[in-house]
Structure 1
Amino acid sequence: MNQKSNNLIPAIIQHAETNQVLMLGYMNDESLAKTKKEGKVTFYSRSKQRLWTKGETSGNFLNVVSISEDCDNDTYLIKVMPEGKTCHTGSYTCFGEKEPSGFLHELQGVIQSRKDNPSEKSYTTELFSKGTKKIAQKVGEEATEVILEAMDGKKDLLIEESSDLLYHFLVLLTDRGLKLEDVEAKLMERHLKKS
């Protein structure tokens, strides 16, 4: 790697799954070596004049998926799976972009809300009140129904039962303190190992 700008190299941080650019930092040989060794992005902080691991105080680490160099060997592209928000302002990226979302992520938020703020009228709250064993049992029941509908070949019923399965699966993840992003990260990790 060619050394530029007082031995500091720009490092573009990109989400490994969505390809969103999350932030830009600077690295030297020491911070790059630490990043490779620990699997968490470490920069050289120009303001603090020291190595700085992103997330060392916030807990919002950037878990390394891959590191590559540009064609001129003077910029790193580091693909990561972030833990939490990237920007110190609380934004998803340092460029003000919002976190990618889809309805499953939105539904996950609703489920988390029902856990944090129980409502007597909510089926989700009722599930949480019955505990992990009952929720896991419901996931098993719904999975069986998905299999049966798949065998019957009725697409509309398969969609219905698949919806029930996904919902109960999200409830189970939330009950165990996990998120859809944790599953996505594992799938991405497996995909990258095979490719």
Structure 2
Amino acid sequence: MEHGEILARLEATIAERRLGDPSASYVAKLNAKGLAKIAQKVGEEGTETVIAALAGDRKELVGEAADLIFHLMVLLSAKDVPFAEVLAELARREGTSGIAEKASRSN
């Protein structure tokens, strides 16, 4: 199974459940709580990912990274930003030095 296919299916599922019944869908529940709650979850999952990485537990790191990506996709959906835009930005940056790319954003 293609990785992009998994992300596309996940994005479609998130979009489908976004306005669903909060008692039946975690995505709907997060959206019902608002953008600040979704952003908080992204922050929490980011922190948990860092902790897992520093602890050296590969399985935990993979799980937390998956949680982080999921919650990031929920946040992007809440802001009506297709994941394809993020991928396009990564493609735009490909082959550019990180230092040069960051400097170009500060101009």
| Aligned position for 1:183 | 86
Q: 1:190: how far off?
A: 1.4
Runs (4+) of structure 1 exceeding 3 A deviation are none
Which of residues 72, 78, 85 is equivalent to 1:169?
Answer: 72
| Aligned position for 1:154 | 57
Counterpart check, 1:130 vs 2:33: yes
Separation in structure 1 between the aligned mates of residue 7 and residue 51 of structure 2, nearest angstrom: 24
Structure number with greater CO (CA < 8 Å, separation at least 6) is 2
Mark the structure with the bigger radius of gyration.
1
For 1:125, give the aligned amino acid: A
| Aligned position for 2:102 | none
Separation in structure 1 between the aligned mates of residue 53 and residue 67 of structure 2, nearest angstrom: 14
Give the number of the structure whose residues are more often strand, by fraction.
1
Indicate the percent of aligned positions where both proteins have the same amino acid.
Answer: 37
For 2:92, give the aligned amino acid: E
Separation in structure 2 between the aligned mates of residue 166 and residue 186 of structure 1, nearest angstrom: 16
Alignment of 1:7-26 (within 5 A): none
**Which segments of 5 or more consecutive residues in structure 2 lack a partner in the other structure?**
98-107
Give the number of the structure whose residues are more often helix, by fraction.
2
Q: 1:167: how far off?
A: 0.6
Pairs aligned (count) = 94
For 2:42, give the aligned amino acid: V
